[in-house]
Each structure stands twice: as C-alpha cells, then as structure tokens.
Amino acid sequence: MTFSFSTFYNLCSSEARYELALDLIYEKFKPAHCLIGKFIDADTRVKTVAYSVDGNRSNDIIYDLEGTPCNDAKTSQGVCSISCNLQQMYAEDEILKIFNIDGYLGVTLRALDHKPIGIMVCLFDEKVTVSDEDKHWFRELSLLVGAELNHNLEIAAQQILVKQLAKGERIAKLSSWSWNISRDKHIFSHEMRRLLQHREETLTLDDFTNCLTEADQKRLRVIIQKLRTGHLDYIDVNVAHKKRTNLRGLYRIIGRVEQCEEQRDERVFSATVQDVSYIYSLNKQLELTNVVFEHATEAIMITDGENKIIMVNRAFERLTGYTGHELMGRDPSVLSSGQHGDDFYHQMWNSLMSAGCWKGEIFNRRKNGQIFPEELTLSLVKDEQGDIVNYVAIFRDITEWKRNEAQLMFYANHEPLTALLNRRCFIDIVEEKISASRSLHTPCSLLFIGLDHFKEVNDIYGPEIGDKVLVSVAKRLRNGIRENDTISRYGGDEFAILLDNTDVKSALQVAKKLSDKIKQPYVFNDLTVELSASTGIAQLENRGRITAAKFIRNAAHALESAKKTHRGHVALHNAAIQNAYLNKIKLKDKLKAALKANLLTVYYQPIVDVQRGKIVKFEALVRWFDDEQGMVSPGTFIPIAEEFGLIHLIGQFVLEQACQDLKVLHSQGYDEVSISINRSVNEFKTSNDQFKLVTEAIEKAQVPYDKVTLEVTESMATNRYTWELLSKLRAQGVKIALDDFCTGYSSLSHLVENQVDYLKIDKSFVDSLMADRNKKVMISCLLNLAQELGIKVIAEGVESQSQLSMLEQLGCNHIQGFYYSPAQPLSACLRLLQEFNSGQVFNDELIYISKSSQQH
C-alpha cells in the first residue's frame, strides 16, 4: 500500500484519486461493478462520486440503501464480503438481479469521528472468495478514500456555510468593512460590491468613496482621517449613493477601532455597512402617518390593552372639547352620554371581540355636557401572539347628517329630478288603493302617459334641457290633478297617475286635459320646445282579482296601442288591446318552442366590395318559419324576444351557426370571406360571459378571429361595461362594426372615442340620399372622417343603381342591399360566390338573384 499511498496523494484532484482507487480495485479483484459513494438523504440513499463497469468509467448513479447488502455493510465495522446466495438474501434488490450479481465486497467510509459518510463497493457477476489479506488491503484503501471523501464533505459544508452567510448578508443588505489602520489595508466583503452596484472584482476605499454623493464623500474622508489619527474610535453615520432611490442607496456605517488580536501594536477598524433605504422609507411613512393622524378630519382615539386612553388627535380635541393631556390614562366612558343601556354596550363589545371591529351610530357627550350623535368605528390591534394591545376608535359628528336624514328619506320614495313618487313607492300605493277600491266598490282609473319623441329633445337640445322639460311636465301634471290622486314618474319619459274614485268617462276627460297641458310650449330663455304625449288608460274592474303590476301593465299596453295609432292619442285598455297582448304572449311561447326544437335558421345577405367586384362579407340574419303563420318577420319576433328575455338564446344560436357556416365557406376556398353577426344590448345585460361565449364559438368552428365581425348599435358602444368587453374581443382579433350609424346625434363623438373597424350607414340615410342634400353632405363627411381613422364604411339598404353610383362617387366601396341580393340560405350564398368569381355580376332588375338561385 506504500506505492498506492504516495501515488494517491500525488494526484491533483479528488476525482483523479477516486479513479485511481477504482483502477487499483479492478486490477486486484476484477469486479463487474465498482463504486465509491456518499450517503445522502439522512443516510437512506447512496450517490456515487466514482463508478466503473468492467474497469471503465460510467455515469454516476443514485440508489436506495434499504433492502441492499450495502445497508448491512453500513453497520459493519469491517469489510463485508458475501459470496453465496446473494440474490436470495436480498430479494428486493433489483440491481443484483438485473446485473446477475453473485458476489459482494463492501466497506463503510467513515469520518474522523467514525461517523459513516459513504461506502466503497465491488459487485461480482460470479462467486468470489476474498482472502483476509485482500480484505485488509481493501480496508486500508478505504481509509484513504474515506479521508478524501470526508475532506470533500467538509469543504462542501464550509462552502454552504459561506453561502448562507453571504445569503444572510444579502437578505439583510449588510456588508463588512475591515481596515488595518497600521498597514492601511482595506478589505470589503463581496456583498459590499453588490450594495454599491460595483461591477469590478476588487473594491478599493476610493471606489467606495466615489460612489457617494459629493457632500458625503467629503464627510467620509474627514471621518477616515480622524480614525487614522486616533481622534475618533467609533462612528455611526448615514451616507448616500449618487444614484439613490427610495428602495436602495442609503447606507448606515457602524464601526469601531480596536487593537489587532494577532498584532497588539496594530489598530484595526471593523465596520458594518447596511443599506437602510427601506428602514428610512418606513420611518418617513411613520412620520407621514403621524401627520395624517394629527390632521385627519375624523376624531381618533387610541387606548391600550386595558382600554385606557393613550393618544388622541386634534380633531378629537376639537370635537369633544377635551385635551389629550386631560384624558391620558382615563377610561373612554368619560364620553358616555347615558342614552344607551347595558345591552347596547354588551352587543357592541361582543361584536368587537368576535369580528375584530364594530361600526355603528352612538350618542356621546362633549366636555361642556352637550350630547351629539356620532358615527363610530372600533377596531382591535393584536400582537404576533394574538393578544390585544390597542383599541382604535374613529368617529365623526353626524349631527348635520341626521338633520338631512329626513330629506334623504323623502328621496327614498321620490324621484330626485321631479320630486314625484318613484316606481317602487307608486306600486305600493296602487296595491293599497286596489284593496280599498274593491272593499268600497268605488271606481279607480290609472293613466300611463308617455312623452312623444322625447329622445329627440335630449339629442337635439341636450340632457340639461331634457331635464328641464321633464320637471315642467311633472309640475303641469301635478297641478292638473286632484290632491287625493297619486302621480309618479314611472321611468324615463313615462308618468303614471292613479285617479281615485274616477270612472272611465272622467278618466278620459282628465287625460284630454293633461294632454292639452303637455302640448303647451316650454320656454327656456330664447329656446322654445314643443312636444306631445300619448296616454293609456286602464280601469279597475271589481269582478275578479287584479294585482298592482297587472293594473299598471294594462295601462302600459294601452299606451303602447296609443303610440301605434298616432302620437298624442289616448287609448283605453280593452279586449282588443288585451288580445294583442295575448297574441304577443302566444307568439312568445311559440318562439320559445321553436328555439327548443331548433326551428330557427340563419340566412346571409352579401356585402360587396364594388371596387374589387367581390363579395367580402355576409351579414347573418335569423329567420323563423312557423307552420301556422308561415315566415314570421324578424321585425315581429325580435322585439318579443328582447322584451321576454329570449334574445340571448337567439343571439347565441346565430353566433354558433354563423361560425360553423363560415367554416364551410372557407373549406370551399373562400378564405377571404368574413361574417357579420348582430349582438343585442340585452345579451350584454345577462349574467352570461359574452367574451367566453363568443370566443368559444369561434374556437369550436376553428375559424380565424379576424373573419368574425360583431355588429352593435351606437347605444351599446356608449356603455362603458359593454365597450370594455368589446375591446377585449377586439384584442383577440374580432372586428367591431357600429350598426345603424348616423341615426343618433352623438355618433361622431363616439366614433372618435371608441375604436371600431366598420361603420354601417343606416338604410334611412341611403333612402334619402338622392333627394336630401344635407344627408349627402353628412355621408360625405363621415366617409372622409372614417378614412382618416382607418375605418371601413358599409352602406346598407342599397336598392338602385343610382344609389350605388352616388355612394361610389362619395367614396363608399362596401355595399349591402337588395340591389345585389336579399338574405339567402348558405347554399344560395355559395352560388352567389361562384357567380361573382366567374364574372357573372347582376342583371338590370332591382333585386339581383342569379339564374341558378331562381331555379331553387
């Protein structure tokens, strides 16, 4: 072993020594597998540091000790040798079976304190007999290898300790600075370089000093000179980095000069340098908190864990008349008004203890004896152990608030603009009147009045004038009825009046009188506004039971009938109106059944790029064929769907079907074609996640997002929530179109504010384009603005060559309307696409339908 010993330690690395050991073992025993490993995971596993197979180096492995001969060798004090029945003895050891191992030789590697740290193993693929002399040789070699492994483990442990210390310095933002004054030698820790953001490997005193502000450079140089000359032996100063921020760059240096332990005649300055920016920031926040505390408008009182007053602010002193000095150490009960019983305070404290806070109203007493109401919030402050250390009370005088409470109660039952009863209160009163009228057998009538074209007043003159008109109308209505009659602004531009003890004839007379009052001009300075109102009348019948909701609904149906007749009309609820309502309900039920049975279908109207002569888009339009009524007009069933909450079902059906049909068009080679899908404002009022519904439909159909356009009305675009949702969809690639554009008076402002991809000029504008010069100018301006904003414009409802020519002349290149084609099923749309692509444009008729379409 003398040769092995000298050769072993002449090698320059542990890896080389381990490999030499494996070579020596292989030369002597010729094992199939030989390894040197260290114990890991609480000595339950072995990780090799050197491993060879048939004398050749192999990759390191990790294996579990349990159930292996190595586990027994670990507890052995000598060499463990097994030469028979090895696989039977360790049946759970799969490695023995895989490599067909029949012989084992192993010895535990130990530290200087004899603690097991690893193992050296030979595995033989045949039975082997090891002599005592060879075992002794193997044991001696293990001592060399064990010493080397122990040395490596100690170095690794030291490295971990150094890393932990460095990590501790990094977490605490703390570094060290040692200066041998006698030798003028400075040593800075690695963390110091990081704190100073110093990139060089070495850090000198000049480097440190030059990082600081100019003022702190001068100050630190003076301090260093005093330390050098002995005029100063302790410092605690703050210095700032040139690039200081709120979170870094303010350093606190604490250091002391002492005699060197090795050389007593030498002086050494030892210091810590810590970044205290965060602590400094916290102190500033504390100062700010104190300022807020002192200048808060709410009174603040803080007590200790024994509920004794320890701090109050200036607002508290002003509100109660007490000074903080007068109340220090006293119980808050000094403020008690005596107007609350023990139960009140017990409930307050129980809530405070269970929930950690209490908020409510309480009466307290000022120093001068005056009792006042206050809104009080109590909170607990606990320490880390959960013990209460403080109580915090924040309160304010609500005397003025209480004074206004009666007025607020008034507005709880009244509409704020007109001061008339609001809808909720009116319904309650109608319910009471119905009961009283039925018991007294007295007639009762209800007028439902709706202002005609009031939206135009708002759009033309602005909401401020609109509000003034509503106030004036309310005043005229109130002055035109009796004191025992009840009037309400039911909502928007609708008013409801309950006429007590009034028959139909009298109700009609009142309605006529009120209608005449409303028709009188409204004059605001130099502005005169004229409008009319339609009225619906419902009469309370003594036979049968009716609810307030039904009574009001009858009047509302009568108003709806009056508006359909002509503006300014008065209609009395009767059997015809009731039948019309019942027919609407019947149609609603049939629509629900049609939706359930999938009887609705989707037609598509082409949108043509006239410059390219191609169909570039289709608008999806829902159609319903009923067995009894035939084709039901969308103008009939869509309003019903809106009114009865079915529109979201129709909208989702059209969305999903249109995406699937778009997939068919793309599969036929029409990849450029996109689809436009209308979305109702009521679809965005449901609890459904519209973003999820739209994206899932597109993903399911596997069509590109940018080939799907959602058409919304201007009113939807003005809703903040709706527009945020549309913006999210647009960010996914979905296109947005504003439908029925130009029908409102605020369109241009919304156009500039909201990002859209398409504008659709309403058919009403296209119809009057040839005869109305103003409409022509407006469309021209709109097209120019849209071009500047990068928005495409689609004119819908185009029915003649003259309209088409005028729109082309104005610069509108996207056309939709009967001039090209009505809405058609998908199969007909495919034929249209084929004919457009083949150059077969349209004939001279108003409505273009291809010959093949006519045959079908």
Q: How far apart are CA 438 and CA 432, in angstroms?
A: 10
Query: Is residue 609 within 8 Å of residue 813, measured between CB atoms?
Result: yes
Helices 575-596 + 647-667 axis angle, to 10:
40
Using one digit for the tens of pLDDT, what is the confidence trace for 250-309? 889 999 988 776 666 788 898 988 888 877 777 778 888 788 888 888 999 999 999 999
- State the SS3 of 812-848: CCEEECCCCCCCECHHHHHHHHHHHHCCCCCCCCCCC
Q: How far apart are CA 776 and CA 17, in angstroms?
A: 96
Q: How far apart are CA 153 and CA 20, in angstroms?
A: 19
CATH number among 3.20.20.450, 3.30.360.10, 3.40.630.30, 3.40.50.300, domain 604-855: 3.20.20.450
Residue 504 to residues 36, 443, 584, 639: CA-CA distances in angstroms?
A: 110, 9, 26, 31
Q: Is the pLDDT of residue 150 over 60?
A: yes
**Residue 348: helix, strand or coil by DSSP?**
helix
- Which range (15-24, 39-48, 265-274, 831-840) has the least confidence? 831-840
Give the chain's mean pLDDT: 86
Domain 414-573: give its CATH architecture.
2-Layer Sandwich (3.30)
CATH number among 3.20.20.80, 3.30.450.20, 3.30.428.10, 3.40.50.300, domain 173-281: 3.30.450.20
What the block records as the tokens of 595 is 């939706």
* Residue 268 C-beta-side C-alpha neighbours within 13 Å: 13
Q: Is the pLDDT of residue 849 over 60?
A: no
Residues shown for the chain: 856
Q: How far apart are CA 198 and CA 72, in angstroms?
A: 54
Q: Which residue has the tokens 């659709």?
A: 760
Domain ranges, ordered by start, for the chain: 2-160, 173-281, 296-403, 414-573, 604-855
Reported pTM: 0.44
What the block records as the tokens of 54 is 């048939």
| Average pLDDT score over residue span 843-854 | 36
Say which amino acid occupies 419.
A
Strands 33-40 and 45-53: antiparallel
Q: pLDDT value at position 168?
A: 60
Q: How far apart are CA 664 and CA 676, in angstroms?
A: 15
Domains 2-160 and 604-855 share a fold: no
| Average pLDDT score over residue span 399-406 | 82
Phi, psi of 372 (to 5 degrees): -145, 150
End-to-end CA distance of the chain: 105
Using one digit for the tens of pLDDT, what is the confidence trace for 359-380? 999 999 999 999 999 999 999 9
Q: Which of 159-173, 557-571, 649-663 has the highest mean pLDDT?
A: 649-663
| Average pLDDT score over residue span 421-437 | 90
Residue spans of beta strands (DSSP E) within 225-266: 234-240, 250-259
| Average pLDDT score over residue span 410-424 | 91
Residues of the chain with pLDDT > 90: what percent? Answer: 48
CATH number among 3.40.50.300, 3.30.160.620, 3.40.50.970, 3.30.450.40, domain 2-160: 3.30.450.40
- For the domain covering 296-403, report its CATH number: 3.30.450.20
Other CB atoms within 10 A of residue 130 CB: 20
How would you class 9 by CB atoms within 10 Å of its CB: exposed for 0-12, middle for 13-18, buried for 19 or more? exposed
> Predicted confidence band at 745 (pLDDT cuts at 50, 70, 90)?
very low
